[in-house]
Structure 1
């Protein structure tokens, strides 16, 4: 009798172990065991439950509950909102790449000999928190790290790792994370924007299987000829988007060299979008800045190509086409990104054309885009180069110059801007970042103040400003 009980227990244990092995080691290898978040029985635990926001990356300036944290070289500083008192939270903390803020706790990403995320409280106490390399983000109640070795890792605010999932992406890419999606543009020689799409293991939503898709942002309207970079399967019917872009080009006010070109004998061939940079998720959108390349083909191109002798077909094609380019800020709804497939085109909305053609970085904050521009660098001895800050309403495309100032330093070391709930911070550095100054302005460009001077002293010195209005639509 005892022997039968032992056999029964042994069988139950064996079956249980086999079941565990199947669930944990065998079934996760099959794609059919992974489903979308909407269909998952643990969907309430997936993502941060806010469909309008995404991960916030490390930054030199970050909004806290009652003030602003900012980094000056190897020092973490804090300005309280009420009295604008500035204090040094901690210093001599090594090479800081930026910080993530949750309430009044800041997580500093350090890059010395080893990559660490350090946790710092309001008293300045520093604790080594997460040992991980790559890009870091904060979304909802979690911290994410993204690198080529481990993929996307998820931690709670106590430093406990929740998940680690392999994902294919360009290690040198610019990227952002939202709801476990990874949106990135690589540096592999093309201008493709890609998204890594998550699906979740049926028995454990922390196990993710990623599929990568290239976003189809460029549209082609005429059948290809020799030398064209697209296939006949890519051709789509002339649509409202093409009509609007064609109208803008023919008006001759925005795109290059169109005022002197007679386009009556040409028809629209393609509209390509070549993004250079993009934002984090804001109000359900990702904003992209880059070139919109519009190509036209002569209506009588076949006849004209037939009389061109002794040239390759691709060279003949170039002689019967015309290409014009404009710089543009546009946006994509993240729901369209989530629903993308290999066969669908991504619709993007044009926010504004860059009439200056010299924008630097941009930041989206509360339905406004803040853009930094600098006078071109020609001579290191030139002292009158200016910095300009523009503010743009993303829903209307109207923008204006809200602030300009002379650079504090000569040379070609680029300036940067950071935006908080009330302010814009401008970081300027000398060559190789030996010296650094920080200026702060209100969102409308008023009340400019030099916060930190080149000696690292807190000065809060008022400065003067100028501004003018423009429209990019």
Structure 2
């Protein structure tokens, strides 16, 4: 009898393993019954995904990191204390429910601390701070219920206690050059397709769950197109993936007018009579963003849009060679592309529901548009409710000195205004960073002074008002107002 049980168990185990190798045994979460889906799957239309940063809001105040030291500010923004400066260097932090998570650089892993801990316990790294996930990944995210860790082409999902739920290979993984890689939301992963061997658009890794155990996951791919054509594509156009000609609507006209009215910003347009050219297509350039933000069901990213213009009589002007193809030189005579950087957002739900090969809509947020706003190339941004903050740190042709500029966009009204402008330090070493709490936005500026990395922190109210220098380059807490334009 015992032998029969052993045989039966062995057969079941083998069958479970063999079936787990079969693609037909995996289905997407939305195919499961609603009762199971709601209980076991992340399915949030208003998903917010937090990533490791320098600032996190808790119920009674704000924690922030300064040179590996953990600082604490009360909610009124008046008192600042250092609560930890131990040997375990804190690289970044994020908050979730009753816990605060740390990226601890000395042990190359994620730790967590209870929000309710007596701050005096932090004098000892073991007094309340405990490792959760060992090992270093490319990016870490928390969606309120789970921790997601990217490590090359592997995406792993953990409980908040560090118990691994699954690790699975993704196709659209990290890009070493040209953007850091994909972002996760509701177990989906996506990024802009940069590889020249594939059609342009957005690559999405879709989670498929094993029918006999939904914590076993395989990722399958779909590609979404981002180009809209308003004239028939040329025979050599590799961006045309749908063969659909759209109506030249008000959205396209407004963008087209914006480009034409600023033609002096692109050298390739300066010697052309734009009255002889049609707008052929608008789409997203093959450049993966440095990072994404996921807030309240939207995915935000800063991206160059590509505009293709072609001579109205190109077919009569172009010369085909003996093989029927067209040289690069001939193409350049009758068509050209320009690129304009814009801030975009897409609904996460639209990404999830879109069918493979379909076109995805995206919304343009009103921020400086480079090169039209040629002294305001956005190098960092952050989103907090209906406000989007964007910082530029590049060289300005019109200004005598290079400046760090901070803009705020009210996404309810579309209005944008400059809230901070400061001449860059002569030895500015790194791109400024932005971080948000519930009621404030923090600007971190960096310099390399006397052989040491230095940083200063300026705090603004959520609406961009009342700039306050919190910590200066010496590391001293100063808490004094500063002029918005310096």
Q: Check whether TM > 0.5.
A: yes
- Aligned counterpart, 2:213: 204
Matched with 1:266 is 277
Pair 1:75-2:69 in alignment:
yes
The number of residue pairs the alignment matches comes to 451
The aligned residue for residue 404 of structure 1 is: 421
Match of 1:19 in 2: 12
Kept in 2, the 8 Å contact 1:403–1:465? The answer is: yes
Q: Deviations over 1:33-80 (max 9, x none)?
A: 111212224312344443212321111111122211111111111112
Deviations 1:109-146 (A, max 9, x none): 1334x521122344223222211321211112222212
Q: Which of 173, 180, 184 is the equivalent residue of 1:177?
A: 184
Render the CA deviation track for 1:135-172: whole Å, top value 9, x for unaligned: 211112222212126x2222223222233223233334
Establish whether residue 118 from structure 1 lines up as the match of residue 131 from structure 2.
Answer: no
Deviates more, 1:132-141 or 1:260-269: 260-269
Query: Which residue of structure 2 aligns with residue 436 of structure 1?
Result: 455
Compute the displacement of 1:288 (Å).
Answer: 2.4
Structure 2 counterpart of 1:236:
244
Provide the rounded CA distance (Å) in 2 between the counterparts of 1:186 and 1:235: 19
Question: Could you say which residue in structure 1 is the equivalent of 2:22?
Answer: 30
Q: Give the equivalent residue in structure 1 for 2:39.
A: 45
Listed as ranges, the matches of 1:405-424 within 5 Å are 405-407=422-424, 410-424=427-441
Is the 1:439–1:451 Cα contact (8 Å) retained in structure 2?
yes
Q: Assess, with a 3 A threshold, how the Cα gap between structure 1 residues 207 and 26 changes in structure 2: closer, same or farther.
A: same
Distance 1:166 1:307, change over 3 A: closer
Q: Find the residue that maps to 1:22 and give its secondary structure.
A: helix
SS at 1:346's partner residue? coil
TM-score with structure 1 setting the length: 0.85
Displacement over 6 Å in runs of 4+: none
1:340 aligns with 2:354: yes
1:300 is matched with which residue? 313
Alignment of 1:3-402 (within 5 A): 6=1, 10-23=3-16, 25-41=17-33, 42-82=36-76, 84-103=78-97, 105-112=99-106, 114-121=107-114, 122=117, 123=119, 124=122, 125-134=128-137, 135-148=139-152, 151-171=154-174, 172=176, 173-185=180-192, 193-225=202-234, 227-230=236-239, 234-239=242-247, 244-250=251-257, 252-253=260-261, 256-257=265-266, 262-274=273-285, 276-277=288-289, 278-306=291-319, 313-352=327-366, 354=369, 355-357=372-374, 358-376=377-395, 384-402=401-419
Q: Normalising by structure 2, what TM-score?
A: 0.83
Choose 188-197 or 317-326, whichever is displaced more.
Answer: 188-197
Deviation at 1:11, TM superposition (A): 3.1
Indicate conservation of the 8 Å contact 1:196/1:210, yes or no. yes
CA contact (8 A) 1:351 1:395 kept: no
C-alpha distance in 2 between matches for 1:286 and 1:194: 14
Checking the alignment, whether the CA contact within 8 Å between 1:55 and 1:139 is kept in structure 2 is yes
Post-superposition shift, 1:16? Answer: 3.6
Q: Label 1:118 to 1:248 Cα distance change in 2 as closer, same or farther (>3 A).
A: closer
Other structure's SS at 1:430 match: strand
Range that drifts further, 454-463 or 382-391: 382-391
User: 2:473 maps to what in 1?
Assistant: 454
Aligned-pair Cα RMSD in Å: 3.1
Secondary structure of the corresponding residue to residue 38 of structure 2 = helix
2:335, 2:400 → 1: CA distance?
44
Aligned equivalents of 2:313, 2:400: Cα separation in 1: 53
Can you list the C-alpha shifts for 1:199-231, whole angstroms capped at 9, x where unaligned?
Answer: 111121111110123331123444444653345
Gaps of 5+ in 1: 1-5, 468-473
Structure 2 CA distance for partners of 1:305 and 1:158, relative to 1, 3 Å: closer
**d(CA) in 2 for partners of 1:344 and 1:314?**
30
| Contact residue 225 and residue 317 of structure 1 kept, 8 A | no
1:225-267 Cα shifts (integer Å, max 9, x gaps): 4653345x532122355x5223432353456456985433322
Secondary structure of the equivalent of 1:70?
A: strand
